[in-house]
Copies of this chain bind each other. A is one copy, B any other.
């Protein structure tokens, strides 16, 4: 049996106040094409479908379009769960009506997990959909006290084991942080205080655990626990990730083989480093000028509106970092700056910006300027 496993679409996400919907639509076009070509037995979407509980209407329309093309046009069933970014109730609208068409959406947490039964030449495969839920929500559903994410997930998995027929291959689609997984900067923590993490051995007995939450594609638990990773690079920390969706082959004996299928984003997320002038000169010949650019500028002097200049070359530049400024950190933060005279204050500022002392000639010019200003101030008073 073959699955295409993907997760963390975060439709409607803003990146430095910029909507990524065009990028998301572009890459989802490729995904739909892949589904049409590969014709897997099912597509598994492991949560964080939207970036927030109330996504913009354009994101709703995009998801509607993509699911229609996969389920109706390509005729491939989809199992989709809510992640910690999704609204369980909103995502689940129409679930009963869409089920018969092959779209299985699990939003709300129930005492008995939703189960989709599939078949291949080797028999039955049961896919259990476990949407993300706070421990308190799982407790309400299961009627047991469950103090942690781990306890909650264990209870849910135990309930599945209790009804799962022996000898049948079992797949879980979930949204969790498994201990040992590598996080990025764009996952929202699952737990405020206390750990949201769960142990990998919780999933023993399941042939495949197709997860969402961590944005880097990765495999744990000896190859059975798999994060497909996010659809796109959603933070600077993901620059070096190879984003992909995952082709998962589940053998007759329950053995799992996972292959990453890279998709081509409309725009990459990249860091460029150097002095502004050098970056502008090099950027003019950059074939990937439309990428989302994070510039680390090493200039020591003042720069007049560097973002405007950068965007003339890189129209989608998102952020600028001054490496020299950043280096000094908060070392001076504790000083009582208000007690310094204007000259000393400026000298301190210069030291912070340029990582160097004012030269005598520079100090002379500064003093003249300050004297002029003081004279002008007296006159106008």
Instruction: Name the residue in A58, A67, A97, A100 with the highest tally of chain B Cβ atoms < 10 Å from its Cβ.
Output: A97
> Closest residue of chain B to A102, judged by CB?
B97
Distance between A148 CB and nearest chain B CB, rounded to angstroms:
25
Docked Cα-Cα span, A103 to B89, in Å, equals: 19
Q: Which residues of chain B are near A98, meaning CB under 8 Å? A: 94, 97-98, 101
Contact of A68 with B by CB under 8 A = yes
Q: How many copies does the complex hold?
A: 2
Q: Contact: B93 with A103, CB < 8 Å? A: no
> Closest residue of chain B to A96, judged by CB?
B68
> Closest residue of chain B to A64, judged by CB?
B93
Query: Which range holds the interface residue count of chain A?
Result: 20 to 34
Q: Contact: B58 with A93, CB < 8 Å? A: no
Distance between A147 CB and nearest chain B CB, rounded to angstroms:
26
Contact of A57 with B by CB under 8 A = yes
Contact of A71 with B by CB under 8 A = yes
Contact of A326 with B by CB under 8 A = no
Q: Contact: A68 with B54, CB < 8 Å? A: no
Q: Which residues of chain B are near A64, meaning CB under 8 Å? A: 92-96
Q: Which residues of chain B are near A67, meaning CB under 8 Å? A: 94, 97
Contact of A183 with B by CB under 8 A = no
Indicate whether A89 sits within 8 Å of B60 (C-beta atoms), given known contacts A97-B98, A100-B100: yes
Per-position 1/0 for A228-245, Cβ under 8 A of B? 000000000000000000
13 contacts between A and B (CB under 8 A): A57-B90, A58-B89, A60-B90, A60-B93, A61-B93, A64-B93, A67-B97, A93-B93, A94-B94, A94-B98, A97-B97, A98-B98, A100-B100
Report, nearest first, the 3 A-B pairs whose CB atoms are least far apart: A57-B89, A94-B94, A68-B96
